[in-house]
Amino acid sequence: MKNLRIATFNINGIRARLPNLLEWLEREKPDIACLQELKAADKDFPAAQLESVGYGSLWHGQASWNGVAILARDAQPLESRRGLPGGDDDSHSRYLEAAVHGVLVGCLYLPNGNPQPGPKFAYKLAWFERLIDYAQGLQASDHPVVLAGDYNVVPTDMDIYNPRSWLKDALLQPESRECYQRLLEQGWTDSLRHLYPDERVYTFWDYFRQHWQKNSGLRIDHLLLNPVASPYLSEAGVDAWVRNQPHPSDHAPTWIRLSSRKRR
C-alpha cells in the first residue's frame, strides 16, 4: 500500500468551478480525487487543464446534470466499471470505478431524492439498493477498495447542525438512513466517523441563510473503506477553505490518508 491522500469533492459544475478545482489540486495535491456533479457533457470535460497540473482523468459526463470523474496525480486511472449493474434504463451518470495507485476506487453521486415522497425519492431508494447489491462484492474483495462520493445521506443527527429544519428532506428520511446503515453493515468503515466518533464534521453548507458563515452544515460526503483498506486509515479531514473561495461549490473536499503501514 502506498501512502495515499484520497479525496471526494462535489464540484457543483466543473466548468464554473474549474479555477477553484485547479487551485485546490495544486495546493492540497490529493493522489486520487473523485468528483461529482460535473454538469458537463463528455466533450466539455477539461481533461487538458487537469493534465497541465499533473492529473490524469476518467469521466462519465452528462449535460447540465450529474456526472462523475476520477483524477489521479501523476497517473492515469484504469477504468473498471461505468454505471451500476441493473440500470439498463438509467440514463444518469452517477457511478464510475477505476484502479489507481494500487486501490480500486468507486466514485458515486447518489440521487438527492427531493421532493419526497414521490418518483425522485423512489429513484433514490432504488439506486441505493443497486449500490448495496453491487457493493457487497467490493467489500469482500482481496484488494483495497474505497467507495467515495456524495451519498446525499445525513447518517445521524450528529451529522447535521439542526435536524429539525430538515425533517422533510430526503437526506434525513428513515429509509435513506436505513440504506446507508445496511451498506455499512456489510463491513465498510465510514472513515471520518471512525476517526472522529464524537465530533461534528460537516462537508456541505448550502447557499441560503448564511449557513456557511454560521457553520450550519451537513455531512453527506463519505469515503467508505473495505476491510482490506481500513487498517491503513491514518487521517481524515475536510478542506473547508475551498468553501470560502469566490464562487464556491456548496460542498468542500473531504479526504482521507491511507498510510503505507497498517495500524496495530
- Which residues are tagged catalytic? 109, 150
Helix (H) or strand (E) holding 6: strand 4-10
For residues 192 and 199, give the distance between their C-alpha atoms in angstroms, rounded to a whole number. 10
Contact between residue 154 and residue 110 where contact means Cβ atoms under 8 Å apart: no
Residue 150, phi then psi, degrees to nearest 5: -90, 105
Cα separation values, 234 from 100, 113, 255, Å:
19, 33, 11
Residue with cell 443497486: 130
Instruction: List the one residue out of 152, 117, 114 whose CA is nearest residue 131.
Output: 152
**In this structure, what C-alpha cell is assigned to residue 171?**
437526506
